[in-house]
Amino acid sequence: MNAKAVIPAKGSGRRVDTVARALGILECFSDAEPELTLKQLSDKTGRYKSRILRLCGTLVAKGFLIRLLRAA
């Protein structure tokens, strides 16, 4: 079975919302803020923490994000 990727024409306005949300999370990080908490990401994106947690889990699993565990 040959799978072909369908890539919308540039400027067509089509996008995958989940990918856009995940990229929005990555855009929150900067040299000035290389580490952010779940609450900070929620505040910056305006998304629920549960949604952020799921998206971050995927980003971590795929190697785009590193999760640091903090001692309480």
Q: Is residue 68 part of a domain?
A: no
pLDDT per residue as tens digits for the range 50-72: 999 999 999 999 999 999 987 66
Q: Is residue 7 part of a domain?
A: no
Instruction: Answer yes or no: are the C-beta atoms of 65 and 57 closer than 8 Å.
Output: no
Q: Is residue 6 part of a domain?
A: no
Q: How many domains does the chain have?
A: 1
State the residue for tokens 């900067």.
Answer: 30
Q: Which residue in 52, 58, 23 sits closest to 39, CA to CA? A: 52
Domain range enclosing 54 = 17-27+34-61
Q: Is residue 3 part of a domain?
A: no
pLDDT per residue as tens digits for the range 8-17: 656 556 668 9
Q: Is residue 51 part of a domain?
A: yes
Q: Which pLDDT value is given to residue 31?
A: 96
Q: Which pLDDT value is given to residue 6?
A: 62
Reported pTM? 0.75
